[in-house]
A and B are shown apart, each in its own frame.
Chain A
Amino acid sequence: MTTFLLEIGCEELPAAVCRSILTQLVGRGERGGLVYRLFNEYRLLAEEDAKTGGEAGAAAAQPSAAAFAETRLSVLVSPRRVAVLVTGVPDEQTPLTQAFRGPRADVAYGADGVLTKAGLGFARSRGADAALLRRELVDSTEFVVVEVAAERRAAADVVPELARRLICGIQVTRGMRWGARPADEDYLRFSRPVRWLVCKLGQRTIEFPFFGLGAGEVSQGHRVLGAPIIIDEADHYVRHVLEQKVVVSQDERRARIVAGLDECAARVGGEWFDPGDVLAEALYLVEWPSVHVGSFDARHLRLPDEVLVTAMQSHQRYFPVRDRDGKLLAAFLYVSNADPAAAPLVTRGNERVLEGRLDDAEFSYERDLAEGLTAMAAKLQHVVFHERLGSLADKSRRLERLVAWLAGQAGENNELEQVVATAAGLAKADLASQLVQEFPTLQGRVGGLYAQAAGQPAEVAQAIAEQYLPVSATAPVPAGLAGALLAVADKTDNIVGAWAADEKPSGSRDPYGLRRAAMGIVRIALEFALRCGVEDLLSAALVAYDDQGVAHAEGIVAEAAAFVWERLQVLLLDEGLPFPMVEAALGSSAADIPARAARARSFAVLEGRDFFDDVVTTYSRCASLAEKASGEAPVAVDEALFSEPAEGELHKALAVAAGPVDDALAHLEISSALVAAAKLRPAVDRYFDDVLVMDPDPAVRANRLAQLGAVVGLLRRFGDFGRLPVPALKANDATAGATT
């Protein structure tokens, strides 16, 4: 039993690639990562002491993927190396017995029961003793079968192939080539050039050629502070590279960095924070981390916090520090890869860089403030939004109209209408600012700051600041209603615009981030219970484009609506709701997002309750016949044509149910609405018992189909129950079913 080490030495890997490699190699769940799968395939999983199953017996006890990852595997990733350590590797492959099927028995044996040439040939081809052949029936034909113990190769003999497949099995999103084509091979593709390989089984060095490189025992230390080093034993690896100033374990590096950040922040009397998640990246930018404090000129503290934090975090990957009241300090923390003793000089260099960036930011900020948000807004007519959709000034005008419409939908509220109108007019102005050109991720937030500086009400500034939220599928939505309406209007305008300009997303191509935009609309509508219809909203946006004179294809509202509904479907499925319930709810005639979402969530809870099943059964009985009326001109139900009491009864039941159903649905009280609708069931059942729907008289037939259509119409307000399996028939259903 021994330890396996493979170290892939690279030129500096991107941080995102480091994280991806770690995930691929370690893996999750039953299937395990790449390392587990390869060790399983090469039969090197089971530990020596577990290998007691006997030579030809059952496979030795194997660890599960999770147990293997937990106790036996370490994957250590730093910018210049990926190291895989596996403990408890058996010295030879674990036993495996394989059964092989040969020719048909009547071919393998002669009439005399003696093996023929074909039978002997089969045994020989499998390296088996002919005496071990036996007969076995497969699909009523008899074949000869032999069981053979697979060869058990020494671990050292299979490791080269395993290691090669491990390296080549790592997927990188953007692979590259380097140098010259290795002799007789294609280029190896990897995220960055691979420069050395170390492969060990315990003390033994496993040498093998690999794309012009040879695996061996020599590793490299820190690029500047370390030296090449011979790894004498796999178990000594982490210690050996540590001696050469490489902390190879990402967990250890993280611990050192966090401890350093804590200590440095305490030293300057504050706490560090990291809104941009710089830590996740800084971790993979260094092999020998130490944390140090830098400072900048306190006059820069005039700049808004957002700007200071972004200047520190984006690109430079520094950590800002704030005091107990949340006030920013004129200090930053950085993670160095240099000798900690060199810190004074390194700090000075970093300070100069940040000082330069803040000088630039301050220069831009002053110029922007002097210009003012209104003047910037006036420049938008010269900034193209999209070649076919006009300028950003056109966009602002459309937004003003759309938020006014949205505010109207939300109810009578003069104050809100005022706020959103002002906010929409100024929303895009910051795109003409210097600061946003320098820090594009601050769009919206800079506009909010400048609106405040211009004396706009706080609600207006907040709405402008929140217009791009949520920035991801899980990021927060706007906190205020005005911001929510502006955000919905902006995203809706983007979606409708993309359809009008024939730039809709296809496949993995979504350059304008419209899926994210649609998800944003869905999440905001749910959070703020926005009850406007999706098609109405999109139509309102399209009207603004029409009035601007933008030409577009027909039918884009319906297409764009389907696109938005798809996002709701994704969201509901992510909540864990069953697919049929989501599908049924999305088939509802309800036009708005909260209505359909409430249905899906209720259906999932109420499924199996009697009243739910009654509604589904009622729907399916009526719908299957009502479909026959499709294509014919719809007729109003005429009571004068009723001849059976059941007809009048259903008519009355429907009239009684409709009011309560409508009422409850309007308040999204799905459960009470279903209870009210379930009361139709007896009348419908009796209807099918007593009434021949497909009457020979066309007028009567049409009237009866129209009656069923009315039932379907009411139930369709819940959803398309045709998406659900019809509940199992109960005893009384059986008779009803027999007569239809």
Chain B
Amino acid sequence: MTTGARGSDAGPSLPTYQTIIDRLQAYWESQGCVVVQPYHTEVGAGTFNPATFLRCLDSRPWRAAYVEPCLRPADGRYGENPYRLGHYYQYQVVIKPSPADIQDVYLQSLVALGVDLREHDVRFVEDNWEGPTLGAWGLGWEVWIDGMEITQFTYFQQLGGFDLDPITIEITYGLERLAMYLQGVDDIFDLVWARWADESGEQRTVTYGDVYKENEYEFSRYGFEVADTAMLYRHFGEHEAEAERCLAARLPVPAYDYVLKCSHAFNLLDARGVISVTDRTAHIGRVRNLARKVAELYLDVNAPGGEAEQRRGLVAGADGAGAAAAAAAGGDEAKS
């Protein structure tokens, strides 16, 4: 930890990194979003969190917001580049179906962060999104504030190869970019993460660099130089096989965890530069194929009146005893 004398010109009136997250959480909570938490497995983007990928597949309404740590080993720069990180955070919002006034609702989130919209040039600039490993695509924009891209705004059209109905809007803030803009900082590592006054009343700050700069170095070295490629190839195959076993057991959520693990193994192999062009296409195809199967099974298991609803007692059994009892009975049968 260092004192506030160093590093950033972010004055005390400007929101810290953690305050920015707080304000987003509060804002989207006020918009009726379930504030879920980061996922427990490595992902490359907030889209991969099951709160987005799985929850946005079916027809049930859904609103969620969360911080997601994103791992992109190939983007690591040993902590030397002021704009690029191998590990960073997104703030992700998904709302299904997309509301008619969603752009205004989003703009109000900037107001909640302290941006006076009339003092800035806020634009929606065409940018379409495609996630080849998830068999997903959508149309939308990147949002610019005074020429700086701070958010991706996407109407999902397909996930796992399935046409969506209704349509989800995905809003993804790049938290570091946003904070750099709000704090007027030109180096990620100078972002003020936290600020407080110590016993003597002196202002103290913790910067992003204090928290993550060493990590960036170590993970860059690991990703580019150290990672055991033979192990990663093996893991890719094992995770893939495990995903298939979960699919066979009709367990789409655990199956999806293994899809994510495959995807992460692939990202590490890619960063190590050992994947040739053909190999690349083939591996992406294998992950996409799994994601498609997971999506298919998830839709089936969660169909209205389907097995998930029965297990949760949401469907009345034919005898009136309730589906939970029926499911429990089924479970007992399976054991015997």
Contacts and interface: CB of A to CB of B under 8 A. Distances in A.
Is the pairing of A and B real?
Answer: yes
A339 interface: yes
Interface string B132-173: 000000110100011110000001010000001111010000
Given A177-B157, A179-B100, A356 B119 contact: no
A187 B155 CA distance: 14
Contacts of A15: 126
Interface centre among A285, A349, A355, A387 (most CB of B within 10 A): A349
Interface in A314-366: 316, 334, 336-339, 342, 345-346, 348-350, 352-356, 359-360, 363
Given A339-B118, A387-B278, A179 B83 contact: no
A350 B147 contact: yes
Interface string A172-188: 00101111110000010
A359 B83 CA distance: 10
Contacts of B166: 179-181
Interface string B48-85: 00000000000000000000000000000000011100
A15 B125 CA distance: 9
Nearest to A348: B146
A60 B69 CA distance: 69
Given A174-B139, A177-B167, A342 B97 contact: no
Interface residues of B, number: 39
A389 to B, nearest CB: 11
A28 interface: no
A220 B160 CA distance: 37
Interface in B103-148: 103, 107, 117-126, 128, 138-139, 141, 145-148
A666 B72 CA distance: 62
B228 interface: no
Given A12-B124, A179-B98, A353 B148 contact: yes
B186 interface: yes
A652 interface: no
Nearest to A80: B124
Contacts of A181: 165-166
Given A316-B147, A349-B181, A353-B148, A178 B155 contact: yes
B160 to A, nearest CB: 17
A644 interface: no
Contacts of A533: none
Contacts, number: 106
A353 B118 contact: no
Nearest to B103: A11
Contact of A386 (B98, B118, B277): B277
B99 interface: yes
A14 interface: yes
A606 to B, nearest CB: 52
A371 to B, nearest CB: 17
Contacts of B128: 174
B30 interface: no
Contact of B118 (A14, A176, A224, A286): A224
A437 to B, nearest CB: 12
Contact of A14 (B126, B146, B277): B126
A181 B59 CA distance: 10
A193 interface: yes
A14 B128 CA distance: 10
Given A179-B98, A346-B146, A386-B277, A356 B120 contact: no
A584 B17 CA distance: 73
A663 B314 CA distance: 92
Interface in A153-195: 174, 176-181, 187, 192-193, 195
Nearest to A212: B100
Nearest to B281: A387
A15 B118 CA distance: 24
A223 B276 CA distance: 47
B30 to A, nearest CB: 21
A516 to B, nearest CB: 22
A225 interface: yes
Contact of A338 (B121, B125, B148): B121
Contacts of B122: 223-224, 337-338
A694 interface: no
Contact of B120 (A176, A179, A345): A345
Contacts of A369: none
Nearest to A387: B278
Contacts of A67: none
B124 A11 contact: yes
A50 B167 CA distance: 49
B147 A354 contact: yes
A342 B147 contact: no
A354 B278 CA distance: 36
B97 A337 contact: no
A355 B124 CA distance: 22
Contacts of A334: 147
Contacts of B124: 11-12, 79
A348 B82 CA distance: 19
B118 A349 contact: no
B262 to A, nearest CB: 22
Contacts of B181: 349
A140 B167 CA distance: 61
Contacts of A359: 82
A384 interface: yes
29 contacts: A11-B103, A12-B124, A12-B125, A15-B126, A174-B139, A176-B138, A177-B164, A178-B98, A192-B139, A193-B98, A195-B100, A223-B103, A224-B107, A224-B118, A224-B122, A285-B123, A334-B147, A336-B121, A337-B122, A342-B120, A345-B119, A345-B120, A346-B146, A349-B145, A349-B147, A349-B148, A352-B186, A384-B276, A386-B277
Interface of B: 81-83, 97-100, 103, 107, 117-126, 128, 138-139, 141, 145-148, 155, 157, 164-167, 169, 181, 186, 276-278
Enumerate the 9 nearest inter-chain pairs by beta-carbon distance, A residue then B residue, closest first.
A349-B146, A338-B121, A350-B147, A14-B126, A180-B97, A180-B166, A12-B124, A387-B278, A353-B147
Given A14-B126, A79-B124, A356-B83, 10 more contacts: A12-B141, A180-B97, A180-B166, A192-B139, A224-B117, A224-B122, A334-B147, A349-B121, A349-B145, A384-B277
